[in-house]
Structure 1
Amino acid sequence: MQWSSFVAFALFAPSHALIRFGCSQLVVDRLDPLVNPGEAPSPHLHQIIGGNSFNISMFPENHDPAKLSTCTTCQPADDFSNYWTATLFFRARNGTFKRVPQKGNTFFEGSNGGMTVYYMNNQLADTAQPANVTAFKPGFRMIVGNPMSSKKADVDRYPQLTYTCLQNMGTRYPETKNLPKKACPSGIMVNVRFPTCWDGVNLDSPDHNSHMAYPISGNFESQGPCPATHPVRMPQLMYEVIFETKAFNNPDDWPTDGTQPFVWSFGDGTGYGNHGDYIFGWKDDSLQKIMDEHCFVNCKTMRTQTMDQMNACAVSRKVNENVDDWRPELPGGPQLRLKATDGTV
Structure 2
Amino acid sequence: MLRFGCSQVVIERLDPLVNPGMHPSTHMHQVVGGNAFTASMPESDISKLASCTTCHFTEDLSNYWTANLYFKARNGTYKRVPQMANQFNDGDNAGITIYYTSPAVNATTAFKPGFRMLTGDSMRRTSENLGKNMQQCYRCFSEPNFGGSMYSPCLDPKWDTDYFPKQPCPGGIRSNIIFPLCWDGKNLDSPSHRDHVSHPIGGPTQFAIVNGTCPPSHPVKIPQVMLEVMWDTTPFNKPDLWPEDGTQPFVLSTGDASGFGQHGDYVFGWKDDSLQLAMDNHCYLRNCTRLTEQAPSIKNKCQVPDTVEEDVDGWMDELPGGGVGA
Whether these two folds match at TM > 0.5 is: yes
Provide the residue aligned with 1:44 in structure 2. 27
Please state if 1:307 is matched with 2:307: no
Partner of 1:76: 57
> Match for 1:79: what amino acid?
D
In structure 1, which of residues 133, 136, 139 is the aligned counterpart of residue 111 of structure 2? 136
* SS of residue in 2 equivalent to 1:328: coil
- Pairing 1:53-64 to 2, within 5 Å after superposition: 53-60=36-43, 63-64=44-45
1:215 to 187, 192, 200: 200
Q: Match of 1:186?
A: 171
CA contact (8 A) 2:26 2:324 kept: no
Deviations 1:125-181 (A, max 9, x none): xxxx5341000110000000011001114888x831111112223463521110111
Three-state SS of the structure 2 residue aligned to 1:119 is strand
TM-superposed CA distance for 1:252, in Å, is 0.9
Contact kept, 8 Å, 1:155 with 1:177, in 2: the verdict is no
The answer to whether the 8 A contact 1:145-1:273 is kept is yes
Residue of structure 2 in register with 1:11 after alignment: none
Displacement of 1:307:
0.9
Question: Partner of 1:72: helix, strand, or coil?
Answer: coil
Query: In the alignment, is the contact (CA less than 8 A) between 1:178 and 1:272 conserved in 2?
Result: yes
How well do the aligned residues superpose, as a CA RMSD in angstroms?
Answer: 1.7
Shift of 1:38: 0.6
User: Do 1:145 and 1:155's aligned partners in 2 also have CA atoms closer than 8 Å?
Assistant: no
Shift of 1:300: 1.1
Give the stretch that moved more between structures: 295-304 or 98-107. Answer: 295-304
For these two proteins, the number of residue pairs brought into alignment is 310
Judging changes above 3 Å, is the alpha-carbon distance between structure 1 residues 80 and 335 closer, same or farther for their aligned structure 2 residues? closer
* Aligned-partner Cα distance in 1 for 2:197–2:303: 31
State the alpha-carbon separation in 2 of the partners of residues 286 and 46 from structure 1.
Answer: 27
CA contact under 8 A between 1:22 and 1:108: conserved in structure 2?
A: yes
CA contact (8 A) 1:97 1:329 kept: yes
The counterpart of 1:330, out of the listed 306, 319, 324, is 319
One-letter amino acid of the structure 1 residue matched with residue 256 of structure 2: D
Which of the residues 224, 238, 245 maps onto 2:226?
Answer: 238
**Which residue is equivalent to 1:108?**
89
TM-score (ref. length: structure 1): 0.86
Mapped contact 1:49–1:82 kept (Cα < 8 A): yes
Cα 1:311–1:304 shift into 2, 3 Å? same
- Structure 2 gaps of 5+ residues are none
In 2, Cα distance between the equivalents of 1:335 and 1:37?
16
User: 1:143-154 maps to which residues of 2 (within 5 A)?
Assistant: 143-153=118-128
Q: How far off is 1:194 after superposition? A: 0.2
Residue equivalent to 2:273: 285
d(CA) in 2 for partners of 1:331, 1:87: 11
In structure 1, the residue corresponding to 2:322 is in which secondary structure? coil
SS, match of residue 312 in structure 1: coil
Query: What SS does structure 2 have at the residue aligned with 1:252?
Result: helix
| Partner SS state of residue 279, structure 2 | helix
Task: Give me the whole-angstrom Cα distance separating, in 2, the residues matched to 1:154 and 1:42.
Answer: 30
TM-score, normalised to structure 2's length? 0.91
Partner of 2:139: 164
Query: Residue 334 of structure 1: CA displacement?
Result: 2.3
Moved over 3 A (4+): 153-156
Distance 2:270 2:264 in 1: 18
Q: What is the SS of the residue equivalent to 1:21?
A: strand
Q: Measure the CA separation in 2 of the matches of 1:325 and 1:64.
A: 36
Letter in 2 for 1:203: L
Counterpart position of 1:29 = 12
SS of corresponding position for 1:152:
coil
Shift of 1:301: 0.3
User: Structure 1, residues 42-95: CA drift from partner, whole Å, max 9, x if none?
Assistant: 0100000000010010130xx432001010000011100000001000000000
1:295 Cα deviation from its structure 2 partner: 2.5
